Amino acid sequence: MNTAIHGMIEELKERIDADRISTNETVIEQHSKDESYHTPSNPDVVVFPKTTKEVSEIMKIANQYEVPVVPFGLGSSLEGHVIPYDHGISMDFSLMKQIVEIREKDFLVTVQPGITREELNAELKKYGLFFPVDPGANATIGGMAATNASGTMSVKYGIMRDNVRDMEVVLADGSIIHTGSLAAKSSSGLHLNGLFIGSEGTLGCFTEITLRVYGIPEHITAARACFETIDDAVEAVVAILQAGIPIARIELVDEPSIEQVNKHSKTNYPVKPTLFLEFHGNEQGLKQDVSFMREIVQDFQCSEIHFETETAERNKLWDARHNLAYAYIHGHPGRKLMVTDVCLPITELAGAIRHAREALTRLDLPGGIVGHVGDGNYHVLLMIKPDDPVEMEKTNQLNEEIVQYALKRGGTCTGEHGVGIGKQKYQKQEHGDALQVMEKIKQVLDPKNILNPNKLVSGTLQDL
Amino acid sequence: MNTAIHGMIEELKERIDADRISTNETVIEQHSKDESYHTPSNPDVVVFPKTTKEVSEIMKIANQYEVPVVPFGLGSSLEGHVIPYDHGISMDFSLMKQIVEIREKDFLVTVQPGITREELNAELKKYGLFFPVDPGANATIGGMAATNASGTMSVKYGIMRDNVRDMEVVLADGSIIHTGSLAAKSSSGLHLNGLFIGSEGTLGCFTEITLRVYGIPEHITAARACFETIDDAVEAVVAILQAGIPIARIELVDEPSIEQVNKHSKTNYPVKPTLFLEFHGNEQGLKQDVSFMREIVQDFQCSEIHFETETAERNKLWDARHNLAYAYIHGHPGRKLMVTDVCLPITELAGAIRHAREALTRLDLPGGIVGHVGDGNYHVLLMIKPDDPVEMEKTNQLNEEIVQYALKRGGTCTGEHGVGIGKQKYQKQEHGDALQVMEKIKQVLDPKNILNPNKLVSGTLQDL
């Protein structure tokens, strides 16, 4: 630890209770990593603010000492977002997890960033409401806003960027702004809300987030549809979307992933390429949608379709889907999770998944394919040994091929996990000269490059 | 015209056909105004580019001569957005109105900015598709993206920002970027798409826009519901939204506005506070939604409900609604249109409209109230004489009171028309220190302040 850090910690102690400023080895180690295969790196100090004012004080001191600050939620990121490669402060939001206000009749809730999506939904349920963005992890709302997370229901309810109406943000110099308002729409000012969502801690620390929430649907029907080939399953998805059936969830789980699900969640699902589906609506409309969907899947050799109308069975199905990454992790002790995350226009999806399958076979990698296929987003899950150079080379080769396939067809290198450090090498290719615009914005809002430096975009302008 | 302008025009002529560079008095006058009450101001020259490359050449030359450039669609803006108060170039996009690509099965269409929404929809209809954002004017898609426009269907389909997936943009220095991709969602890079939408020509000129489009709904039912008081009508809207009925349109039209509609559109609607509604969906679901809505409006003394299931009658109803502003304009020759545009959380809407009504009565101003009430957005339409100082003072007083009421309750000064020059005075109050962030972004992306200067945000940093 250098002298600047030491001086800064002393100054922090004048503003924040000493027991919320930690250099304890275990605490440091907990903040050195995320859930990905990326190499850990220690922060110098972990600080646990309790209020927006404290976050602002910490940023002012960090700015004065030019010490990096990495906001930290639960560490469930998948591309190294929260790993402090430049050391400095890991700002842990676990003590800021209040629900600030529920405006039930406006379908709005304001929370602090440290609350998790499951904690929030437990509270919202009392009001007949729910928040639909549901990434695999029980992530914090702050982390989900920082990566522009999405999930199984985004095909109907949208992604974080669609559901965050306002944020209170502490900037690099400690000043505090709001990025939106409580209005459902606005053409006032430049749209900072969308810019800060998905900024991965590089533009500011979120201290309050106002979310749009929804009434729990009157009727819900979930289904599991099994197919003979993954191609048939994906083509069925495309047909359902093109028929305009307003589906709430449509998830692909391939055979290796069904095997992991069965082992981990004690289910007994047929080991076949499977779609997990859900419909939300009124009773009559839902019946008509479901019967139309039934007709369509028959055209694609659907061998079995099983409906779950009971809440308990439905929850079991979706828990199994959500726990899939953990099923892989627990099924492969000593290995680390690596997940691809491209998203393409829907007509390119079947080809992309076929291509990924072929690449897995060719490279002899044991991976599962799952995805939010209604959005054109799919993942290959691999359990790897990061210290095995041959395996790492094959894994990187796979990721490279998958990303190149997507970028050539108008897609993106990351549909929902974000850039972190894992997707930085594709930023120039994906965004072209727009990357320079992003870098200029980063530079003007964080001139000392202290906010999660060298993640997402570089803080120093590249010659493009 | 000063020497710099003269030199610049000569240089423009080396790149652009001379007949597409105009200083003709009529052409200049056409580009000096919009549809609002704001004072006209002439550009020095109007240029009609045909390609992105030409737009880039024009920007490079303008940048070199430090001459302002105002992008111009059809001039249907309502807050002076396209009026070139600093003179220079009015860049008219009427020759760039091609449909570049229709990706029917991806529900995507790429257009040049000069195409109007009606022209686009006429073409999309051949594919069973439609684009749902429908401001009152038959505006250009470029203009709609520049103001983040919305309309009667935004309660279901979202606003421009929700429906633009990618844009090709020419920046101040002539460089060309893309702001998004064809993927339905992305967590790659900073989100420039949302930032440029609604930027009112201050950050760049849009040269191609990729839109999300929708399948024409299987079944559509429209309705007109009359109420005894405007309060009852608004409370019915709030109840319908809170019941979670997935409504596609829900528009309020007050008595004076119904009178204008009847005169202009040769309709014979009862002169009562009225809701225009529409439902999109499958047959069974729609029946259930409509019957639930019927029950709800009965609770609010709905005196008459009339359904329009025939396409022709339905179109007549919505044409009448869309032509409302023109009905006012044609009904008041010699006067100019002034429209308020606040948007509030839905629970504040009834109070806001009551307050606006009281202010109209107190100030003795003859205004109509209409609105996209499902979004919490409403307008007061006034036909004014801008050169009558007493009337202008009362009008400004009304606008001020309406905006203050909204801002105090978490709303915005403009739900869909944008800032232009008319709402600049509220930017500091609405956005606080966030305005400085907007100004920094403007400054770093347009350092010479040539892109629609002194609109929306100032190009020079304010001391806040």
Of the partner residues B179, B287, B426, the one whose CB lies closest to the CB of residue A434: B179
> Environment class of residue A385 by beta-carbon count within 10 Å: exposed (0-12), middle (13-18) or buried (19+)?
middle
Q: With contacts defined as CB-CB under 8 Å, which chain A residues touch B412?
A: 181, 183, 185-188
Has residue A464 got a pLDDT over 50?
no
Rounded Cα gap, residues B213 and B158, in angstroms? 11
Q: Residue A439's pLDDT band (boundaries 50, 70, 90)?
A: very high
CATH topology of domain A3-92: 3.30.43
| Of B132, B342, B120, B344, residue with least CA distance to B249 | B132
Of the partner residues B181, B188, B285, the one whose CB lies closest to the CB of residue A419: B188
At B338-373, the pLDDT tens digits run 999 999 999 999 999 999 999 999 999 988 999 999
Q: With contacts defined as CB-CB under 8 Å, which chain B residues touch A427?
A: 188-189
What is the number of other CB atoms lying within 10 angstroms of the CB of residue A458? Answer: 18
Of the partner residues B161, B238, B341, the one whose CB lies closest to the CB of residue A191: B161
Q: What is the pLDDT of residue B252?
A: 95
DSSP bridge pairs for B225? B275, B305
Q: Residue B114: what residue type?
A: G
Contact between chains at B244 and A181 (C-beta distance less than 8 A): no
Contact between chains at B281 and A283 (C-beta distance less than 8 A): no
Residue from A81, A105, A179, A187 to probe the interface with B (highest B Cβ count within 10 Å): A187
Rounded Cα gap, residues A424 and A394, in angstroms? 19
Sign of CA dihedral A349, A353, A359, A362: negative
Question: Does residue A430 sit at the B interface (CB-CB below 8 Å)?
Answer: yes
Chain A nearest-CA distance from B437, in A, is 7
Residue from A190, A372, A433 to probe the interface with B (highest B Cβ count within 10 Å): A190
Window A:311-340, CB contacts with B under 8 Å: none
Has residue B1 got a pLDDT over 80?
no
Residue from A106, A162, A188 to probe the interface with B (highest B Cβ count within 10 Å): A188
**Closest residue in B to A238 (Cα–Cα):** B105
Instruction: Report domain extents, chain B.
Output: 3-92, 99-215, 219-325, 332-418+430-448
Contacts 24+ apart (CB under 8 A), B101-106: B102/B127, B102/B129, B103/A345, B103/A347, B103/B182, B104/B129, B105/A238, B105/A242, B105/A346, B105/A347, B106/A345, B106/A346, B106/A347, B106/B182
Question: Does residue B152 sit at the A interface (CB-CB below 8 Å)?
Answer: no
Contact between chains at A185 and B343 (C-beta distance less than 8 A): yes
- Cβ atoms of A405 and A352 within 8 Å: the answer is yes
**Closest residue in A to B216 (Cα–Cα):** A244
Longest Cα–Cα distance of chain B, Å, equals 70
At A113-164, the pLDDT tens digits run 999 999 999 999 999 999 999 999 999 999 999 999 999 999 999 999 999 9
DSSP bridge pairs for B380? B369
% of chain A beyond a pLDDT of 70: 98
Chain B nearest-CA distance from A115, in A, is 21
**Closest residue in A to B178 (Cα–Cα):** A434
Chain B nearest-CA distance from A424, in A, is 9
Has residue A459 got a pLDDT over 70?
no
**Closest residue in B to A172 (Cα–Cα):** B437
The contacts of residue A109 (CB under 8 Å, 6+ apart) are A99, A101, A102, A103, A120, A124, A129, A131, A210, A211, A213
- Cβ atoms of A94 and A27 within 8 Å: the answer is no
Question: Does residue A441 sit at the B interface (CB-CB below 8 Å)?
Answer: yes
Domains B99-215 and B219-325 alike in fold: no
Residue from B173, B188, B212 to probe the interface with A (highest A Cβ count within 10 Å): B188
The contacts of residue B463 (CB under 8 Å, 6+ apart) are none
Rounded Cα gap, residues B144 and B153, in angstroms? 14
Rounded Cα gap, residues A129 and A115, in angstroms? 16
- Cβ atoms of B138 and B225 within 8 Å: the answer is no
| Of B263, B266, B233, residue with least CA distance to B373 | B233
Q: What is the pLDDT of residue B101?
A: 98
Of the partner residues A186, A283, A347, the one whose CB lies closest to the CB of residue B288: A283
Q: Residue B158's pLDDT band (boundaries 50, 70, 90)?
A: very high
At B386-408, the pLDDT tens digits run 899 999 999 999 999 999 999 99
Q: Which H/E stretch holds residue A281?
A: strand A274-281
- Cβ atoms of B166 and B192 within 8 Å: the answer is no
What single string gives the DSSP state of each residue in B232-300? HHHHHHHHHHHTT---SEEEEE-HHHHHHHHHHH-----SS-EEEEEEEE-HHHHHHHHHHHHHHHHTT
What is the number of other CB atoms lying within 10 angstroms of the CB of residue B311? Answer: 10
- Averaged pLDDT for residues A98-120: 97
At A334-378, the pLDDT tens digits run 899 999 999 999 999 999 999 999 999 999 998 899 999 999 999
Question: Does residue B161 sit at the A interface (CB-CB below 8 Å)?
Answer: yes
- Cβ atoms of B27 and B47 within 8 Å: the answer is no
Contact between chains at A162 and B161 (C-beta distance less than 8 A): no
% of chain A beyond a pLDDT of 90: 89
Question: Does residue A285 sit at the B interface (CB-CB below 8 Å)?
Answer: yes
**Closest residue in B to A179 (Cα–Cα):** B434
Q: With contacts defined as CB-CB under 8 Å, which chain A residues touch B410?
A: 181-183
Question: Does residue A221 sit at the B interface (CB-CB below 8 Å)?
Answer: no
| Of B238, B213, B108, B223, residue with least CA distance to B157 | B213
Has residue A202 got a pLDDT over 90?
yes
Q: Residue B461's pLDDT band (boundaries 50, 70, 90)?
A: low
Q: B255-265 and B311-322 helices cross at what angle (nearest 10)?
A: 120
Has residue A461 got a pLDDT over 60?
no
Contact between chains at B190 and A171 (C-beta distance less than 8 A): no
Average model confidence (pLDDT) across chain B: 95
CA torsion angle A307 A312 A313 A316 (round to 10): 130
Give A332-407's CATH code, choosing from 3.40.50.2300, 3.30.70.2740, 3.60.21.10, 2.60.120.620.
3.30.70.2740
Q: Where are the alpha helices (DSSP H) in B340-460?
A: 349-362, 389-408, 427-431, 434-445
The residue behind tokens 């975009």 is A457
Q: Residue A318's pLDDT band (boundaries 50, 70, 90)?
A: very high
Higher-confidence residue of A326 and B148: namely B148
Q: What is the pLDDT of residue A460?
A: 62
Rounded Cα gap, residues B122 and B117, in angstroms? 9
At A252-297, the pLDDT tens digits run 999 999 999 999 989 999 999 999 999 999 999 999 999 999 999 9
- Cβ atoms of B80 and B420 within 8 Å: the answer is yes
Q: Residue A463's pLDDT band (boundaries 50, 70, 90)?
A: very low
Rounded Cα gap, residues B427 and B432, in angstroms? 8
Sign of CA dihedral A150, B438, B459, B64: negative
Window A:378-407, CB contacts with B under 8 Å: 406
Q: Residue B269: what residue type?
A: Y
Task: Write the DSSP symbol of residue A128.
Answer: T
- Averaged pLDDT for residues B245-269: 93
Average model confidence (pLDDT) across chain A: 95
Contact between chains at B191 and A198 (C-beta distance less than 8 A): yes
Q: With contacts defined as CB-CB under 8 Å, which chain A residues touch B444?
A: 440-441, 443-444
Q: Residue A175's pLDDT band (boundaries 50, 70, 90)?
A: very high
Proportion of chain B in helix, strand, coil states, percent, rounded to 5: 40, 20, 40
**Closest residue in B to A428 (Cα–Cα):** B189
What is the number of other CB atoms lying within 10 angstroms of the CB of residue A2? Answer: 10
CATH topology of domain B219-325: Alpha-Beta Plaits (3.30.70)
Rounded Cα gap, residues B399 and B342, in angstroms? 9
Token pair in block for residue A101: 């206000």
Q: Where are the alpha helices (DSSP H) in A188-280?
A: 192-196, 230-242, 255-265
Q: With contacts defined as CB-CB under 8 Å, which chain A residues touch B346?
A: 105-107, 184
- Averaged pLDDT for residues B329-339: 90
Contact between chains at B187 and A419 (C-beta distance less than 8 A): yes
- Say if strands B21-22 and B45-47 run parallel, antiparallel, or are unpaired: antiparallel
Question: Does residue B156 sit at the A interface (CB-CB below 8 Å)?
Answer: no
**Closest residue in A to B464 (Cα–Cα):** A175
Rounded Cα gap, residues B59 and B201, in angstroms? 12
Contact between chains at A377 and B183 (C-beta distance less than 8 A): yes
Q: What is the pLDDT of residue B463?
A: 46
Q: With contacts defined as CB-CB under 8 Å, which chain B residues touch A285?
A: 281-282, 284-286, 288-289
Q: What is the pLDDT of residue B464?
A: 39
Q: With contacts defined as CB-CB under 8 Å, which chain A residues touch B289?
A: 282, 285
Contact between chains at A185 and B437 (C-beta distance less than 8 A): no
Residue from B100, B104, B186, B187 to probe the interface with A (highest A Cβ count within 10 Å): B187
The residue behind tokens 């359904």 is B307
The architecture of the domain spanning B99-215 is 2-Layer Sandwich (3.30)
Q: How many residue pairs bridge chain A and chain B with CB atoms within 8 Å of each other?
A: 288
Task: Write the DSSP symbol of residue A348.
Answer: G
Of the partner residues B154, B159, B191, the one whose CB lies closest to the CB of residue A195: B191
What is the number of other CB atoms lying within 10 angstroms of the CB of residue A79? Answer: 28
Q: Residue B49: what residue type?
A: P
Lowest mean pLDDT among A47-61, A329-343, B75-89: A329-343
Q: Residue B4: what residue type?
A: A
Question: Does residue B283 sit at the A interface (CB-CB below 8 Å)?
Answer: yes
At B13-38, the pLDDT tens digits run 999 999 999 999 999 999 999 999 99
Of the partner residues A108, A191, A412, the one whose CB lies closest to the CB of residue B186: A412
The architecture of the domain spanning B332-418+430-448 is 2-Layer Sandwich (3.30)
Contact between chains at B433 and A159 (C-beta distance less than 8 A): no
Count how many Cα atoms sit within 13 Å of the Cα of residue A214 in the half-sphere of its side chain: 19
Residue A129 sits at φ, ψ, to 5 deg, of -115, 165
Question: Does residue A433 sit at the B interface (CB-CB below 8 Å)?
Answer: yes
- Averaged pLDDT for residues B405-425: 97
Please state the ipTM of this predicted complex. 0.96
Question: Does residue A73 sit at the B interface (CB-CB below 8 Å)?
Answer: no
Contact between chains at A244 and B417 (C-beta distance less than 8 A): no
